[in-house]
Amino acid sequence: MPHQPSWLLRVNEILEDLSGPELSPIPFLSRAAIESLFRLRRRQAIHLMHAVGGFQVGKAFVVARSDLLRWLRRASLGEQVWWEQARHARVEHAIEQVRHERQARQQRALLPPSTLHLKLEGLPPSISIHPGELRIAFQGADDLFRQLFQLAQAMKNDYPRFQALAGG
């Protein structure tokens, strides 16, 4: 996959800065101004300035602010920005999913080893099973997790009785 410019996601912010009171009276932008505005390094700023149509004025390499505005407006409407925004959203979503999964994995319910051999008769009174209905009274996520685990173990260890209680 080709390298995507780091500033693509900030194109609208850059357009606002260029049109803002600080930069709007300035007709030409230097390499240092481009580096600051786009958060680029020297070589990247020069490359961008060449793409926009920058030119030499004495010893300085500059780009016309109006040319840069036009170029950025075209870029902001382009497919490349849309794809980069969509890619960024997908990556953020994936990171958030991993964060949630990691938090869930860190949750540990302290259960005695006897839980692995639990039968339906040994379930706490906070769990009740009737045909077509399951009720669990709990106090917080950890308590619910613990009771669901107990129920799952009891169902596994006493499945015929569970079927009879559940109505099936």
**pLDDT at 141 (0 to 100):** 86
Q: Give the global pTM.
A: 0.49
In this predicted structure, what is the pLDDT of residue 167? 79
In the chain, CATH 1.10.10 covers: 8-92
Query: Identity (one letter) of the amino acid at 84?
Result: E
Q: What are the backbone dihedrals phi and psi of residue 87, each rounded to the nearest 5 degrees, phi first?
A: -60, -45
Average pLDDT for residues 79-85, to the nearest whole number?
71
Q: Which CATH architecture has domain 8-92?
A: Orthogonal Bundle (1.10)
Say what the pLDDT of residue 2 is: 44
CA dist 37 to 9, 18, 34, 52, 85, Å? 13, 8, 5, 15, 19
Straight-line distance from the first to the last Cα atom of the chain, in angstroms, rounded to the nearest whole number: 54
99-129 residue pLDDT tens: 988 887 776 666 777 777 888 888 889 999 8
pLDDT in tens, 13-53: 999 999 999 998 999 999 999 999 999 999 999 999 999 99
Q: What is the pLDDT of residue 118?
A: 83
pLDDT computed for residue 1 by the predictor: 35
Contact between residue 37 and residue 17 where contact means Cβ atoms under 8 Å apart: yes
Confidence of residue 12 (pLDDT cuts 50, 70, 90): confident
